Amino acid sequence: MTLFAQIQEPAVTLKAIYTNLDSLKTDRYDDTRGLAVLGPNSCCGTQFDAMSFTPKSNSTVYQVQVAVQYASGGANQVNLSLYADSGGNPGTLLAGPVTVTNLPQQPTCCKLAVANFTPVAITGGSRYWVVADTPLTGTGSDFNGSWYFAVQTTPPYSVDLGTGWSFAPSLSELAGKVLGTTP
């Protein structure tokens, strides 16, 4: 009797290709500030959001994790996709959409919405986009939620142009990370 060993592929160890979450490895983000993510049949009109990232080297994306949460009303689901860049905006769809369900109720720090993709090769030095949107009709088109900002890494400042001091917050980034393999 001959026994054949089943060959198993080694598990892929995912590394951060991009992240703007805190450096304490807690995936902390600012759950008090963010942008709305609204389906076209939500309470308040349509708003889809996108987070840009530029990998340092050629990589393969397997997963994205973003700080998107559910507010109220409508289906508790959002679509996450990966896009190439087109003139500083999302262009060609590369992967997705992946429908993520059962998002945490906002504000809940620091849970992330996770989308797993069929592996996608990306080029170092090129800009890409992670997009949160909804279907245009049907289930999920009534989503009402938020994509929270990363913890500020650039301190805010004030400026006086001769009329008194004005507070100027630093630029905010949507919180998330892109995971995969790198050479």
pLDDT tens readout for residues 83-125: 999 988 899 999 999 999 999 988 887 889 999 999 999 999 9
Establish if 68 belongs to a structural domain: yes
Q: Report the C-alpha gap between 95 and 43 in whole angstroms.
A: 28
Establish if 8 belongs to a structural domain: no
Question: CA angle, corner 107, sides to 74 and 65, nearest 5?
Answer: 80
10, 174 Cβ separation under 8 angstroms? no
Residue 58 has pLDDT above 90, yes or no: yes
pLDDT digits (tens, 9 = 90+) for 8-39: 444 678 999 998 886 656 667 777 778 889 99
Q: What's the pLDDT at 25?
A: 60
Helical (H) or strand (E) element with 53: strand 49-53
Establish if 109 belongs to a structural domain: yes
Residue 134 has pLDDT above 90, yes or no: yes
Split into its structural domains, the chain has a count of 1
Q: Report the C-alpha gap between 57 and 126 in whole angstroms.
A: 9
CATH for 145: 2.60.120
Establish if 75 belongs to a structural domain: yes
Residue 59 has pLDDT above 70, yes or no: yes
What's the pTM value of the predicted model, to 2 decimals? 0.83
Residue 116's domain comprises: 15-152+161-181
Burial class (CB in 10 A: 0-12, 13-18, 19+), 35: middle
Establish if 10 belongs to a structural domain: no
Establish if 2 belongs to a structural domain: no
Q: Which of 117, 130, 134, 13 is nearest to 66 (CA)?
A: 130
Establish if 118 belongs to a structural domain: yes
Residues in the chain: 183
Establish if 43 belongs to a structural domain: yes
Q: Which of 97, 23, 34 is nearest to 64 (CA)?
A: 97
